[in-house]
Structure 1
């Protein structure tokens, strides 16, 4: 097969990077992408790496990825991402799992997406299934059939305890190629509690002015350690207002109570791994 493979978003630390939780999406998806390309090449496929590391905005990253993809004549475009929004910082014994996005619910991309979900499910993840998304540029503007893999959730401890890039890449490759691959992969390593920090979140906004306004109000009300963190979800840049980061979860819980006492309701704690 001829394949385009790319990791979504800019690298971590740059504008338009991916979500951050117990792992960083833009690092994790590049790890999976690199392992996936190695496996596919070992299986005698032609693979083009269409990852973009120099986008100036979320839309610029997408446009550059699409341009790279459309420069090649391939059977399939594959976009590697991680999901976000489980907020299961301690682990509840259940994974939130995998889903794969496609432009239409038929054809070669859909068929590969179904197989990829099943292969990742076999690793122990919940299968959230294949979902249709007609609004994403990486799916609607590429010439070849395209799919977007949301490998698992960066903010679910059960997901990340189970995760390693090589087993994830192998599962995706088996789904793409529709065959089993003989490849040994290392066991996953659970997240050490010593590496987990807890952030008090006081809102996420897709308008940076609103986020800055919230931060200014928190600063004025005497909350220390407030900062913004930008990440991209569904090709939209979001700005998360972090009202403190703590090693001890009890301190993060107290900060949420203090926020509520000042009228900032709806706060929550998110786990973060440095």
Structure 2
């Protein structure tokens, strides 16, 4: 039987991880806005921030499941400190409505230049509501240290992923080199074995064995040439062909779906 203390620990742990990942997300967004330029680097930064956002959502789902289980075990009275986690609660202090507020202020400045009066009902700093996850127990314990810890954790994960992909690339290149070496060795092996059956008296059989050995050697030579040509293709060209193949596959799937829809 699962005790309520386990669910309480799960809720607390999920909130701690949620706050840490939100801190890391804000840090990487600020770093991207200040230092990242160019399409390639911007795409990498956007992918990284998206992955952190997925971890934030995973922590939120884990908290919701643990809170639901705690309510079933202890009732509503046992979950007073764990409030319902809504989508608008998953944000850092100051993130709520930041885009809309900035847009309204910019529009007000434009209208002010045209002689119009800036709206008075625009929300200010005094009306901003902090999400309850930042006032929950444990949220204010050495917040600066938690920020640096969360950033270090995310950096370590990204660094480990980078090293793993570098290792995968090294392994793949070594496998490609060994495949070419093997095909060259196999072709040479067939050339060396053309005259092994010197004891065959029938000229037709000897000619057939020689032809078969030459055929196998030529097959391995052509395979090696094909792989080498493919593997020396520029990365941009390979990516373009891959995208074209995926687009063709999607189009074929759509045609099949349309065909079967007419049969129903």
With the shorter chain as reference, the TM-score category is under 0.3
Q: Which has the higher contact order (CA 8 A, sep 6+)?
A: 1
Larger Rg: 2
TM-score normalised by L of structure 1? 0.18
TM-score normalised by L of structure 2? 0.18
Task: Specify which structure has the higher proportion of strand.
Answer: 1
